[in-house]
């Protein structure tokens, strides 16, 4: 009988689940985090399980690993592993040449340096404030009155970059309002936001060293404007991953279970 392995990443903003069978991703799900992390875990796992024929509940999984901020709260988990290790394992599972991961999540930013086996060599994280994270972008798009996708596309249309100096989410919001009132082009300001986040991430990545291949994981990895700004600041190409980068933690968690057989 086929064995299914689950990984569940309860992040600050979203809950993610991945199910593996024979070393292949057979289903995944992402939902917005609920107030109760246990509810988030139950719901996202249920969504992922529903897409797989042959299993109907969490109990049918051969092994379930929890990760993320709420890793202790994943219902029925056999084990929990830190999200840093899981992002490294997930990225290594997809591409063993990855040596540097920049995880831009909903609430923090992490830079991870890993070896050819996916083991973490060093990491650095910023979890003191929301600057340069998904929460920051949520505040920014509210000011621009656009969606995240529209904001990303807008920043790529910039003809020049209007510098945004405030790193703090709260101050950046008011700075953006004043820049918009000064009639600067929204695209140029958007490019300024992306560059300001990229510079902040740069200082963090420098702490672990920039070694190619570099990939970006987490929800903000879908922001192409940020990826371009990071390439410019880091002066290295950012590689694509063959799976939704937001799922990397959950995938790594599932890989932990799968490797245990």
Partner 1 sequence: MSVFDITSASVSLPERFSTYRQRIKTFTNISGMGLRLGTRFMMEAPRKYPWLKTLLTADTLFDMSTRARRGPYRQASAWALSEVIASITDMLEGVFGNPEKTVMHEDLVPPEILTAMGLNPWMAELLGIMGPLIRSDFAEEYIDAAENEGTPPDVCSLPKATMGLVLKGQMPHPKAILTSNMPCDGGMSSYTLMEKRLNVPCFRLDVPYNFYDDRSAEYFAKELFRAVDWLEEHTPGRMDWDRLREVCTLRNRATEFQMEVWDLLREKPAPMAGEPLYLGHMIFQVAMPGREKSVRYFETLLAHAKKIRAAGGALPDERYRIALWNPPTLIYPELFAWAEQRYNAVMLMDMISYNRHPYIDTKSPETMMRDLARIIMAGPMARHTRGPQENFFSDLFELCERFSMDMIWMAGHIGCKNTMALSGMFREKCRERGVPLLIINYDLSDTRVVSPAEVRKQAEAFMETVMKAGAPVDSEAKAS
Q: List contacts with partner 1 (CB under 8 A).
A: 66, 71-72, 74, 77-82, 84-85, 119-123, 125, 206-209
For the bound state, the minimum distance from the C-beta of residue 85 to partner 1, rounded and expressed in Å, comes to 5
Residue with smaller CB distance to partner 1, 119 or 170: 119
Name the residue nearer to partner 1 (CB basis): 2 or 119.
Answer: 119
Distance CA 195, CA 223 (A): 12
Minimum Å gap between C-beta 165 and partner 1 is: 21
Closer CB to partner 1, 66 or 186, in the complex: 66
Angle at 163 between CA 145 and CA 211, to 5 degrees: 100
Residue 24 pairs in a beta bridge with 21
**How would you class 72 by CB atoms within 10 Å of its CB: exposed for 0-12, middle for 13-18, buried for 19 or more?**
exposed
Q: How far apart are CA 94 and CA 102, in angstroms?
A: 15
Least distance to partner 1, CB of residue 93, Å: 17
Q: Which is nearer to partner 1, 22 or 122 (CB)?
A: 122
Closest of 73, 122, 87, 26 to residue 256, by C-alpha: 87
At which residue do the structure tokens 């009155």 appear?
145
CB of 113 to partner 1, least distance (A): 8
Q: Which is nearer to partner 1, 125 or 156 (CB)?
A: 125
Nearer to partner 1, 6 or 192 (CB): 6
Find how far residue 218's CA is from the centre of its chain.
1
- For partner 1, the closer CB: 77 or 247: 77
The distance of Cα 171 from the centroid of its chain, to the nearest Å, equals: 24
The H-or-E segment that residue 118 falls in is none
- Smallest distance, partner 1 to C-beta of residue 98, A: 16
Cα–Cα distances (Å) from 3 to 19, 20, 24, 54, 159, in that order, read: 10, 8, 11, 10, 53
Q: Under a CB-based contact definition with an 8 Å cutoff, are residues 17 and 248 in contact?
A: no
Q: CB 15 → partner 1: shortest distance, Å?
A: 17
Phi, psi of 134 (to 5 degrees): -55, -40
- Identify any residues that bridge with 122 across adjacent strands, giving them in sequence order: 113
Rounded to a whole number of angstroms, the minimum distance from the CB of residue 100 to partner 1 is: 13
* DSSP code of residue 216: E
């Amino acid at each position: 009988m086929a064995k299914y392995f689950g990984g569940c990443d309860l992040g600050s903003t979203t809950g993610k689940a991945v199910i593996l069978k024979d070393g292949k991703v057979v289903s995944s799900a992402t939902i917005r985090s609920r107030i109760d992390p246990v509810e988030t875990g139950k719901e996202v796992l249920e969504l992922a399980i529903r897409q797989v024929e042959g299993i109907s509940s969490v109990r049918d999984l051969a092994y379930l690993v929890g990760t993320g901020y709420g890793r202790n709260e994943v219902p029925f988990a056999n084990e929990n592993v830190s999200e840093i290790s899981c992002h490294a394992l997930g990225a290594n599972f997809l591409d063993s040449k990855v040596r540097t991961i920049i995880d831009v999540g909903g609430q923090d930013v992490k830079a991870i340096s890993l070896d050819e086996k996916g083991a973490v060599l060093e990491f650095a994280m910023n979890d003191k404030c929301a600057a340069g994270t998904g929460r920051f972008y949520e505040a920014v798009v509210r000011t621009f009155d656009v969606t995240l996708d529209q904001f990303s596309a807008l920043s790529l249309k910039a003809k020049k970059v209007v510098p945004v100096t405030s790193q703090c989410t709260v101050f950046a919001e008011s700075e953006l309002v004043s820049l918009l009132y000064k009639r600067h082009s929204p695209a140029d300001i958007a490019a300024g936001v992306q560059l300001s986040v990229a510079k902040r991430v740069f200082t963090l990545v420098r702490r672990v060293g920039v070694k190619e291949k570099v990939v970006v994981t987490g929800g903000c990895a879908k922001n192409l404007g940020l990826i371009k700004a990071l390439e410019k600041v880091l002066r290295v190409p950012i590689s694509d991953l063959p799976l939704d980068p937001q799922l990397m933690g959950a995938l790594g968690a599932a890989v932990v279970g799968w490797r245990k057989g």
